[in-house]
Chain A
Amino acid sequence: MIIIIFMSVPNIIVVAGSSGAGKTTWVCQQIRDVADAEKIIYYSPGTGTVPVDQTRIASEFPDLQVFSDIQQVQFLNQIPSSDAVYIEWGFYLELGSVAQLLDNLTYRTVAVLPSDLKDSEYHAWANEIVRGAPTQASNAETLWRAVSSGQVIDENSLEEFWYEITHGAYGIVTRAKGIFDVNDGRSLYCDFVAGVPQTDFLELDLPRYLEGRPQRFSGLEVVGKNLDEAALRQTLSDCCLSDAAILQYQQQVKEILLEGEPV
């Protein structure tokens, strides 16, 4: 007797595209259309110790399983038991490496690209082209990353620093994104794409961190030309609160919350 076992085949989608075109935004849109995110998994290789997109997406979809760089094996093991798999392929990774990662699995390729980009390696690679933001990114750019986990950033300083980053004080920046813990315990997501209208900082749906230095990810990623990395690093450091200031702010926020007042 022959027993045939039908296993459901997960829908694997690899999303690539220009820096800032909206890869993560597109993935979020797809997940929002699904009632239950529990059996959806997300992986974005190459982000190392600065998982900005992973942190943002995990805060929006708490049921989603998000895998970090060091969890590649667990991610691959999880694929067969998932309904849908989203792999975000950073612009800094070779498109040819996708096949190496997914071996013999069947997958669909989606490229999120600015509409004025008519001919690129993505066009030849993707099954589907999605019209993205009109980003001004080019190939000759540098990627700079910094981890600020454990630090609390003075929010007013962050606004000033962000203004300087996005207006060329540290080089020609085409893309910047970051997640920061601020004075009142909130975690803020900052997002900039050159050529696209600026948005306000987004408060992530995470609990306020009010017990000392935050034990969760925060950090910054900047893409551009002629980046003054030393100045970026120094200014980020200058925005960080001391232990005494963190304690003082956290006590103030706790008192306000105890009184039932809005912070």
Chain B
Amino acid sequence: MKIAVISCIHGNYEALDAVLLDIDQHSCEKIFCVGDLVGYGPHPNAVVAQIRSLDIPTCAGCWDEDIVEGLNACDCSYPSLLAEKRGIQAHEWTNKEIHPENREFLAQLPYSLKEGNLVFVHGSPHSNHEYLLPELDPFVALERVLSTDSDVLFCGHTHVPYARTLDAGQLQVRVGKGDKAEEISFTSPLKRIVNVGSVGEPRHGRPNATYVIYDTNTQEIKLREVAYDYQKTCAAIIEKGLPAIFAWRLAHGLEYAERADDPTHVCTR
């Protein structure tokens, strides 16, 4: 069975529309979404309505959580004061714009989804704000997958797609202190982390949307990059009174505000 996994749409309806068309052309049987339907982009209601109407299984992203519970960013969220101020602007705008029924929909999104040996989360199984960057320490990366009791962990949040195979799963754990310490070794079966990128807020230097097609029979992962009329989204950003810099950044594949990129950082909240 072929499945499509999408993430980080961020109120960019044009991008979502193009990705859904691309998914349709690749005959995927099911679509999963790992959150961040809203935030920064100009069409939060249209995006939520589309996801609802297509009944796409979706888990909550950090932006979806914040629109429901109020702004709750942690130190990991913004690497600079400027990014934080822009994030707050985007949050306040979205918070005013979102319709009650859509907020309600976001409120009932689960933290994670599971389908057979696949698990779907927004950031990491540990926190929706944690970035599972491709260079993350292999021990931490493996721990994150093992904690889900699955073989393939699909996530988003970083906006840069990648597939990582954790095939050297030889773990040694020391339990206890001094002479009484006991060393336990165990081997983990092959695990994978698949980051599906971002539909509406790319960070790979081009404005194109990204998502992933996964074949559950062959375990083949296809990272898809889809061009769309991003200028329409840019025009809507300006028209709706969002900061013009968001349009410029979107057009340059830079995200609306820069994100943390320290692979050694582990979210401690």
Residues of A within 8 A of B (CB): 154, 156-157, 159-161, 164, 167-169, 228, 231, 235, 238-239, 241, 245
Complex Cα distance A231/B245, Å?
Answer: 8
Label chain A's interface by main secondary structure. Answer: helix
Complex Cα distance A34/B252, Å?
Answer: 47
Query: Within the complex, what minimum Cβ distance (angstroms) separates A150 from chain B?
Result: 17
Query: Within the complex, what minimum Cβ distance (angstroms) separates B83 from chain A?
Result: 7
Complex Cα distance A228/B252, Å?
Answer: 18
B245:A241 contact, CB within 8 angstroms: no
- B residues near A231, Cβ cutoff 8 Å: 244-245
- A residues near B117, Cβ cutoff 8 Å: none
Q: Closest residue to A161 on the B side, CB-wise?
A: B82
B81 within 8 A of A: yes
A156:B79 contact, CB within 8 angstroms: yes
Complex Cα distance A169/B248, Å?
Answer: 6
B258 within 8 A of A: yes
Query: Within the complex, what minimum Cβ distance (angstroms) separates A170 from chain B?
Result: 8
Query: Within the complex, what minimum Cβ distance (angstroms) separates B67 from chain A?
Result: 22
Supply 17 A–B pairs (Cβ within 8 Å), ascending by A: A154-B81, A156-B79, A156-B80, A156-B82, A157-B80, A159-B80, A160-B80, A160-B82, A161-B82, A164-B245, A164-B248, A167-B252, A169-B245, A231-B244, A238-B82, A238-B85, A241-B81
Once A160-B258, A167-B252, A238-B85 are accepted as A-B contacts, the answer to whether A228 and B244 lie under 8 Å apart by CB is: yes
Label chain B's interface by main secondary structure. Answer: helix
Complex Cα distance A198/B206, Å?
Answer: 22
Complex Cα distance A238/B252, Å?
Answer: 21
Q: Closest residue to A241 on the B side, CB-wise?
A: B81
- A residues near B85, Cβ cutoff 8 Å: 238
- B residues near A159, Cβ cutoff 8 Å: 80
Q: Closest residue to B86 on the A side, CB-wise?
A: A238
Complex Cα distance A143/B82, Å?
Answer: 24
- A residues near B252, Cβ cutoff 8 Å: 167
A238:B248 contact, CB within 8 angstroms: no
Complex Cα distance A231/B248, Å?
Answer: 12
Complex Cα distance A154/B83, Å?
Answer: 11
Complex Cα distance A228/B238, Å?
Answer: 14
Complex Cα distance A157/B85, Å?
Answer: 10
Q: Closest residue to A238 on the B side, CB-wise?
A: B85
- B residues near A161, Cβ cutoff 8 Å: 82
A154:B245 contact, CB within 8 angstroms: no
Partner of B81, one of A156, A167, A168: A156
A157:B81 contact, CB within 8 angstroms: yes
- B residues near A228, Cβ cutoff 8 Å: 244
Query: Within the complex, what minimum Cβ distance (angstroms) separates B191 from chain A?
Result: 33
